[in-house]
C-alpha cells in the first residue's frame, strides 16, 4: 500500500495536461453524469429482472452490473477521461478490474443488507450503488485511465 501511494504521489507531480488540476472539474462532472447513467441502467436492469423475469435480487444485480459496465466504460473512456493516452485494451482491462472489485463489494454489501434488514430490495440496491461510486472514481482516475510514464 505504501509503495502504491508513493507511486501515485510521484505521478501527481508529473501530470500531463489532460490530468492537470484545472481540468478536473470537467472530468468530475462527466464522471458524475456517466456514473449516474450507468447506475440508472444497473438499477433499471436489476429491478426489471426481479419484477419481470422473477430473478432473485442478487442474481438480477449481476445482470444489471454487466449491462451497466458497457455504459460505464464507454462513457468514461470517451468523456470522463478522454485524452488519457492509455491504450483502449489496457484501460478496459484495468477498468474491468476496478469495476469487478467494486461489484464484489456491492454484491457483498447488498447480500448483507438484504439479509439483515427488511427494507425493499430496490431501495437497498440504490443505497449500495451510491456507496461504491466514490471509490470507483478514485481508482479510475489514478489507475485505469492513467497513462504510464
Higher pLDDT, 119 or 19: 119
b (16+ CB within 10 A) / e for 110-138: beebbeeeeeebeebbbebbeebbeebbe
Please give the average per-residue pLDDT across 115-138, as a whole number. Answer: 90
CB 50 within 8 A of CB 141: no
Spatial separation of the C-alpha atoms in residues 132 and 100, rounded to whole Å: 11
Confidence check: pLDDT of 128 > 70: yes
What pLDDT, on the 0 to 100 scale, is given for residue 138? 78
**Treating both helix axes as pointing N-terminal to C-terminal, what angle do 57-75 and 121-139 enclose, rounded to 10 degrees?**
30
What pLDDT, on the 0 to 100 scale, is given for residue 19? 47
Q: In this predicted structure, which of 5-9, 35-39, 50-54 has the lowest mean pLDDT?
A: 5-9
Spatial separation of the C-alpha atoms in residues 60 and 25, rounded to whole Å: 34
Amino acid at each position: 500500500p505504501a509503495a502504491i501511494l508513493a507511486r501515485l504521489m510521484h505521478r501527481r507531480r508529473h501530470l500531463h495536461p489532460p490530468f492537470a488540476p484545472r481540468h478536473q472539474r470537467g472530468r468530475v462532472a462527466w464522471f458524475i453524469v456517466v456514473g449516474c447513467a450507468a447506475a440508472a441502467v444497473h438499477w433499471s436492469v436489476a429491478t426489471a429482472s426481479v419484477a419481470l423475469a422473477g430473478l432473485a435480487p442478487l442474481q438480477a444485480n449481476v445482470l444489471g452490473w454487466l449491462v451497466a459496465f458497457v455504459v460505464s466504460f464507454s462513457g468514461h473512456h470517451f468523456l470522463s477521461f478522454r485524452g488519457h493516452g492509455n491504450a483502449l485494451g489496457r484501460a478496459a482491462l484495468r477498468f474491468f478490474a476496478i469495476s469487478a472489485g467494486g461489484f464484489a463489494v456491492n454484491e457483498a454489501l447488498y447480500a448483507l443488507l438484504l439479509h439483515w434488514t427488511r427494507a425493499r430490495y430496490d431501495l437497498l440496491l440504490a443505497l449500495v450503488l451510491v456507496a461504491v461510486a466514490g471509490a470507483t472514481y478514485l481508482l479510475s482516475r489514478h489507475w485505469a485511465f492513467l497513462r504510464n510514464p
